[in-house]
Amino acid sequence: MIHMTTESTSRAADIEAIRRLVATVEHSQQNKDPEEFLALFHPDAIWTTAHGHVLVGLDAISEFTRKVLPAANWDGKVTYEVAHVLFIRPDVAAVKVRQRYLAPGQESEGAPLYVISKQEDGRWLLTACQNTAVAAD
């Protein structure tokens, strides 16, 4: 029989919540749904796009996302996979993500880094994020 401490049980629950957050990012991108995506952000978040555009605060992130996401030129076949989680503190984690666009002839990969923070209500929110395109070899 395996006994988990309260701390390890809590950590496992946090990791599962982080996986759900990344799955929601994936769902929002596949469905080109800006509202679902924007609901994942801390109000004071910082987002840097794969092309280096720095967006500070939810208003700037919202303006960009509402313009770009619905008009995105992929067919919605994109996957996001949690590659690594580093807990900086119990309520702050750095999450390395593997992002893959799978449309025929448009296959590409990204390597986002999400710094996320756990809110008082227990939700994890995107707080400081860098989306990086992976150059083809």
Q: What would the two tokens of residue 136 be?
A: 């083809």
Nearest to 123 by CA among 6, 20, 9: 20
Rounded distance, CA 44 to CA 58, Å? 6
First to last CA, the chain: 47
pLDDT at 70: 87
pLDDT at 89: 96
- Average pLDDT, stretch 124-131? 97
- Taken in order of first residue, the domains within the chain and their CATH numbers are 6-134 (3.10.450.50)
pLDDT at 137: 67
pLDDT at 5: 54
- pTM strictly above 0.85: yes
pLDDT at 6: 58
More confident residue, 3 or 120: 120
Digit-coded pLDDT (tens) for 60-116: 999 999 999 988 776 768 899 999 999 999 999 999 999 998 877 778 899 999 999
Type of residue found at 124: W
Helices (H), 39-109: 58-68
Rounded distance, CA 44 to CA 63, Å? 14
pLDDT at 7: 64
All residues at 6 or more sequence positions from 28 whose CB lies less than 8 Å from its CB, including other chains? 34, 36, 37, 40, 69
Digit-coded pLDDT (tens) for 3-61: 455 567 889 999 999 999 999 999 999 999 999 999 999 999 999 998 899 999 999 99
Using a CB cutoff of 8 Å and minimum separation of 24, what contacts does 41-46 make? 41/125, 41/126, 41/127, 42/117, 42/119, 42/125, 42/126, 42/127, 44/127, 45/125, 45/126, 45/127, 45/128, 45/129, 46/127, 46/128, 46/129
pLDDT at 104: 74
